[in-house]
Amino acid sequence: MIMDKLFEDNKVYTPKEIAETLRITKEAVYYYIKTGRLKAKRVGKSWRILGKDINEFIEVEN
C-alpha cells in the first residue's frame, strides 16, 4: 500500500512529537522503542527517532 509519508525521512523527532502526530500517548512511543519495534537513539537522557524509521514503523504496523 502506498501511503504519503507523515514524517520527513532525514529529520529527527522526539517521542512527544511522534505521539502528537500519531495521536497516541508518549508511553506508547516509549513502549515501541523498548520492545524494539521502533528504532531510536539515546541522546543523553532523551530519545531521538529518524523520520525514515517512523515511516518504516508505520508501514509495518499497518
User: pLDDT digits over 13-34, tens only?
Assistant: 999 999 999 999 999 999 999 9
- 3-state SS assignment for residue 46: strand
Average pLDDT over residues 3-9: 81
Average pLDDT over residues 39-60: 96
Q: How do the domains of the chain map onto residue ranges?
A: 12-61
Share of the chain above pLDDT 70, in %: 94
pTM: 0.87
Residue 48 pairs in a beta bridge with: 41
19-32 burial, b at 16+ Cβ within 10 Å, e below that, comes to beebeeeeeebeeb
